[in-house]
Every structure is written in C-alpha cells, then in structure tokens.
Copies of this chain bind each other. A is one copy, B any other.
Amino acid sequence: MHSLITHLECTACGLAVKSEKLNKLCTACGKVLFARYDLEKAKNIIDRDKVYGRRSSMWRFNELMPIKSPENIVSLDEGNTPLLRASRLESLLETSQIWIKDESANPTGSFKARGLSAAVSKAHELGIKKLTLPSAGNAAGALAAYCAKAGIEAHVFMPNDAPQANRFEAALAGAKVTLVDGLISDAGVLAQKMAKELELFDVSTLKEPYRVEGKKTMGYEIASSLGWRVPEVIIYPTGGGTGIVGMWKAFDEMQSLGWIGSDRPKMVVVQSEGCAPIVRAYEQGKKFAEPWENASTIAAGIRVPSAIGDYLILDSVRKSGGTAITVSDQEIVENMKIFASFEGLWVAPEGAATLAAYKKLLLSGFLTKDSEVVLMNTGAGSKYLDMVESFV
C-alpha cells in the first residue's frame, strides 16, 4: 500500500497545508508542521500484526509514512532495532523492568538514520537536489549517507569539536563539510545563510516536517515489541527532541488506529548539566525554552542550546506526567561503563545519560523499583571515541 498522507498541519495554529510541495515551518505562525494521514482508512486496511511480515525496516509502516511512491524511498534498512531486556542492570539495581531501545543498530550507528531516511526520501520525491543541515555530529553523518545513496548533494555544518567519526564519515560519503567555531546553533546560522546563497533545502530538526516521521517509528516499534502496549516510562536524551516529539505523535496515531489504548508512557527528558534549556523551562513552568548560554557536554548530541520544537517536547512531558532532569558528564561516563560491563553495550554518551537519570529518579521517588522503563540509547558509543577516551 502507498502512503495515506492527506496534508500537513501546523502544531501551533492548526493551519492546513498541502504536502505535494516544498514545506518548512508554518507560513502563518512559524511553528512546526506535522504530517497527517487518513487514519480511518489505515485502520481498516492495516493489520498491525501483519506489518511485521513486511520488509525489515521502519518502512514496513509505509502507509503511515509520507512517501507517495515506494520507489522514492531512500533506505539502508533503518529501524527495526532491538528492545533489549536489561536483566543484569535489573539485578544490579534491584529493580524489575528495564528495557533498552538500542538505536546503535541503525545504519550510520544512530537514530538519526530514521529521520534522515524519511527526509531525504521526501526531498528525493519532490525533486530536490541539494540538502543542508547543521548538526552536532550524527545527523551530519546520516544526511551524508542518505544523500550519497540518493545521488543528492549534501552540505553539512558542524561544530569544529564534533566527534571525529562524524566529521570523517560525512566527508567520506562525499558531503561538503564546513566546521564552525561554535555550537550547533552557530552552525545553523551559517547553514541558513549558505542555503540561501546556494539554493540548498534546509532539513534542520523539525524545520521541515519529515524527519519527525522517521523518528516516530521508534514509538511504533516500542509498542509492537511490548505486544502492542506502551511502557510506563520512556527516558529520552533530549537535544532537538525530534524523537520524543515523534514518539508522542506515534502514540496518538496508534490510538486512532486502534493499535493501543489511551495509556501513555511518562515521557522523561534528560539533558546535561552543561546544556539544559528544556529542563530549565520545565522547572520554570514555561511553554517555550530560552536558549542556553555557553553549552558544554561530552554528549555531543544533546549539546543543543535551543530547540524549535521546545513547546512540543514540554507538552509531551507535561501531558504524560513525565519530568525533566539533568545529569553531569561524570555521571554520563560512569554509566557508560556500567552499560558496557553489565549489558555488553557500548552506548553513546546520550544513551548513558538515560541510565544516570533512571538512578536519580529512583532515588527521588519519581520511579519505583517496579516501574517499567525504556532507556533510549540513541547511538553507538564507538563513534564518540575521541570524546570519551580520556574520561574512562
């Protein structure tokens, strides 16, 4: 079956927009656009249990994805990642239900593959030939990879202290790599400027509507792995927040499809002490987050001073009864060791942050020993070797 996309809709003002042409943010209010589907029709034609007999990637959810013609899909078989039971962590911590969604199994070794497979596919379908984005690291590598596979030009802008593996992989795949003396936000300013000059289409996080469609498949997969129900809690390392926003969207879609009920996981944001704009806004009861000054953390993927989807992230945290919490770089490194030596997983620093958060939330009483929790490991630790080697 083909995509059942009907239109795009602004998440803030509700404006409806056609999906057949180029779109970025809402032209009326400047906020994030979401793809909408004919879920009534989908409900009648898709059997959730037969979806898993299809191709072994996130594109098995084809009807609920935005690509109209399957031949336009640019795929390296992203998604379909493991949900692993963390039995040894459970013993260590004397708790009973820890799962790890291990996104390191994706092409390019991170969850960025999902979003960029979707965004590059849609760009390809719309005939776009040059893409750009600013990135803390893994998104640059993923954009470069999918553009290479599609034969599209990629221009990536990264902090000059982004992980070496990301700088190398983007260049290896033929992307034009520009290193910026600053953060992802500074890279974003330059990317925007160059996009105008060189007529590049900007696929920055949530500034175009399709990366989130790729990321939402994490939500579908978690529910499916648990036998079509949601866990009690999901702990998510939050940079731009496309993943948390995408999963939240997926839960709503799945409820409309009749695949899950009205239960929702408590969505927990974890950020670094050195860069915690969402945590601060959550604590201050604000709807939007102020940019974080002088952001600094070894977890490159969450060194994101401001997120255009801040209101969507905060909304999912609050509506779900979740929370937002910071951890230190020292805690990140310690928990990277614990992940490796108890579960055999060399997780990304961002993934390690979720375990640090889990422990803190046990201590604070937000979680109990029986809480069923999914820790999101967003990528492979091996790609951060130069960032972490001196700490371990």
B-contacting residues of A (Cβ < 8 Å)? 52-53, 56-57, 76-77, 80, 82, 84, 88, 102, 104-109, 141, 144-149, 151, 164-165, 168-169, 171-174, 336-337, 340-346, 380-383, 385, 389, 392
Cβ-closest chain B residue relative to A83: B77
User: What is the total number of copies of this protein in its complex?
Assistant: 2
Q: Please list 18 pairs of residues, one from A and one from B, whose beta carbons are closer than 8 Å in the complex, sorted by A's number.
A: A77-B102, A77-B105, A82-B107, A88-B148, A105-B106, A105-B107, A109-B380, A109-B382, A146-B344, A149-B344, A164-B389, A165-B382, A165-B385, A169-B346, A171-B392, A173-B341, A380-B380, A385-B385
Residues of B within 8 A of A169 (CB): 340, 346, 381-382
Other-chain contact of A168, B147, B343, B344, B389 (Cβ < 8 Å): B389
Residues of B within 8 A of A174 (CB): 340-341
Nearest CB of chain B from residue A239's CB, rounded to whole Å: 20
Nearest CB of chain B from residue A47's CB, rounded to whole Å: 13
Residues of B within 8 A of A337 (CB): 172
Residues of B within 8 A of A336 (CB): 172
What DSSP secondary structure best describes chain A's contact surface? helix
Cβ-closest chain B residue relative to A141: B346
Residues of B within 8 A of A109 (CB): 104, 109, 380, 382
Residues of B within 8 A of A173 (CB): 340-341, 344, 346
